Amino acid sequence: MTAYSILAVTPTSEGWIPSYIEPVGKIIAKHGGKYLVRTTSHEQVEGADSPAALRIILEWPDRQAALNFVNDPDYAPYLKARREGSDSVHFVVEGKDDLA
C-alpha cells in the first residue's frame, strides 16, 4: 500500500541544506520514493498555528520503504544534520481511508 512522508521543516541554520538536497534525493530514490511536494508556498487554513518554513510530501511504495529510508545508515548523517539544523516533524502515513 502506498505511503507518504509528510514533513514540516523550519531551518534554524542553513549550512546543512546545500549538502543535503542531492545526496538525500538519491537515497530517497534508492528506496523507491519520490518528492510530490517540496515548497515554501503553503498556507495554513485551519487549526492551531503550526508554522513551518517548508512543507514536504514524499510518496513511497509502502510504509516499510519509508521506514527503510529513515533507518538507512547512508541517511544517518543527513538526518542528524537536519535535526541539528532545523525544527522539523516527520509523519509516515499509509494511503488508506480507515473511516470508509
Kindly give the confidence (pLDDT) of every residue in the chain, 100 residues in length, as a single tens digit, with 9 standing for 90 and above: 999 999 999 999 999 999 999 999 999 999 999 999 999 999 999 999 999 999 999 999 999 999 999 999 999 999 999 999 999 999 999 999 999 9
| Of 34, 38, 43, 78, nearest in space to 54 by CA | 38
Contact criterion met (CB below 8 Å) for 96 and 10: no
Give the whole-angstrom CA distance, residue 47 versus residue 63: 27
Give the whole-angstrom CA distance, residue 98 versus residue 100: 6
- Give pLDDT, residue 2: 98
User: What pTM did the predictor assign?
Assistant: 0.92
Give the whole-angstrom CA distance, residue 2 versus residue 36: 13
Ordered structural domains, the chain, with CATH? 3-42+61-94 (3.30.70.100)
Q: DSSP assignment, residue 77? A: H
- Give pLDDT, residue 76: 98
- Give pLDDT, residue 38: 96
- Give pLDDT, residue 88: 97
Report CA 44 to chain centroid distance, whole Å. 18
Residue 32, C-alpha cell as written in the block: 523507491
- Give pLDDT, residue 74: 98
**E strand spans, 12-49:** 34-39
